[in-house]
Amino acid sequence: MSGFARAFVDTFRAVFRDRAALTTLVGAVVLYSFFYPAAYHHQVASQLPLVVVDQDRSASSRALVRRLQALRAVRVAGMAGSMDEARVAVEQGDAEAVLLVDAGFERDILRGGQGRLALLGNGAMLGRASTVLQGAALAITAEARGLAATQARFAGAPAAPALALVERPLFNTAEGYGSYVVPGVAALIVQQTLWLGVVVMAGTRREREGRLRFSRPRLAGIAAAFAVFGLLGLLYFSGFVFWLQDYPRGGNPAGVLLGAALFVLAVVGFAMFVGSFFRTRERAFQLIVVTSLPMFFLSSLPWPVEAMPRLLAWSARLLPSTPGINAMVKLNQMGASLAEAAPELVNLAVLAVLYGALAVWRYRP
């Protein structure tokens, strides 16, 4: 058996004999695939409670409440008799926002004036309050258009042509937070678990043998074995998990295979190079804990690259996660062509060669 094949098989055997490495490379990927997306199962906030203070008690105010009840994001939790009563409901957590319909709302509209409304949100939880306020504002706007048209007919004015705005999400069709964040985090999970597994194995071997020295065929066999774990994990997320969780997927399958291969090769080279500096396996766990979140923010997925300092943005390209996350999202979720994802793919290829060469240098006989 050649040095490459023997190292490939021995690495697989070593991983399956090491409980920590096996749990990291296989168990953690499977666990995260169900645990992490569970927080975003509902995708968008819905049925958030709203309290209405109707001081007008007119047909127009009741029509507005009925329109609010038809919204997905908002649930009319009740009618309060006063603002003090509504404030108590918000303070007790029974409502996220308050809609005040001022007395004379319908009268002012029929006279050609403007009906007065006040929409107040709970600032303690800005995300939920924003959803309620946005949904209620849409209902109020729609009701105002209807009232304006009715007012124009009573006044004998010609009806203005209706202008309908139709919004169609192009990639995130559910318009959910899960569809936005999970595909990017999945690539980071694969990177971090693969990185951790490689470093744990390198630290274990170094504890036993001191300085690690491998011939190039043996080093290539070890890298190939870890690359199999990483590739299977990434394809498991990109195919099965995204299908199971109903996230956008399958835009460019051939491109996903190419992007996954380059990403995994870059991660393995990076992990082997970094792992060569660790003398104990425990240090790897400490490193992963403090680097995962910064790496995600540096990927430019949650934070636009235009808002980063230029030096930081360029430095982030030295991490496989930065081009890897963007390449996988482009190819799998957005259906980009290879030409459109070329900057990220070239970046990954360069990192694979760079860190592969550094790993050969560090593990030289």
> Could you report the per-residue pLDDT of 250-273, keeping only the tens digit for each?
778 888 999 999 999 999 999 999
pLDDT at 161: 47
Q: Which residue segment(s) compose the domain that 150 sits in? A: 48-155
- What 3-state class would DSSP assign to 161? coil
More confident residue, 75 or 155: 75
pLDDT given for residue 343 in this prediction: 93
Same domain, 187 and 313: yes
Residue 171 within any structural domain of the chain: no
Residues 202 and 261 in one domain: yes
Is there a domain that residue 72 lies in?
yes
Q: Evaluate if residue 348 carries a pLDDT over 90.
A: yes
% pLDDT > 90, the chain: 17
Mean pLDDT along residues 355-363: 91
Cα 196 to Cα 287: distance, rounded to the nearest angstrom: 9
The answer to whether residue 338 is domain-embedded is: yes
Q: Do residues 345 and 262 make contact, with C-beta atoms less than 8 angstroms apart? A: yes
Is 60 exceeded by the pLDDT of residue 160? no
Residue 229 sits in the same domain as residue 350: yes
Name the more confident of 38 and 96.
96
Domain count, the chain: 2
**Do 330 and 353 reside in the same domain of the chain?**
yes
How high is the pLDDT of residue 130? 65
pLDDT of res. 354: 95
Residue 36 lies in a domain: yes
| Co-location of 13 and 77 in the same domain | no
Q: How far apart are CA 178 and CA 44, in angstroms?
A: 8
Q: Cβ(278)–Cβ(202) under 8 Å?
A: yes
In a domain, residue 165? The reply is: no
| Residues 180 and 300 grouped into a single domain | yes
Q: Give φ, ψ of 237 to 5 degrees.
A: -70, -50
- Residue 264 belongs to a domain: yes
Residue 311 lies in a domain: yes
Element (H, E) at 332: none
User: Does one domain contain both 248 and 349?
Assistant: yes
pTM of the predicted model over 0.75 = no
State whether 183 and 37 are in the same domain.
Answer: yes
| Residue 75 and residue 148 in one domain | yes
Comparing 74 with 82, the larger pLDDT belongs to 82
126, 155, 184 - which closes a domain: 155
Q: pLDDT higher for 203 or 312?
A: 312
Same domain, 151 and 186: no
CA 280/CA 271 separation, integer angstroms: 15
Q: Find tokens 């927080």 and name the residue.
A: 39
- Domain-located, residue 190: yes
CATH of the domain at 143: 3.40.1710.10
> What is the pLDDT averaged over residues 163-183?
67
Statement to judge: residues 331 and 348 lie in one domain? yes
pLDDT higher than 60, residue 78: yes
Paired tokens of 38: 């569970």
Domain boundary among 109, 125, 155: 155
* 250 and 323 both lie in a single domain: yes
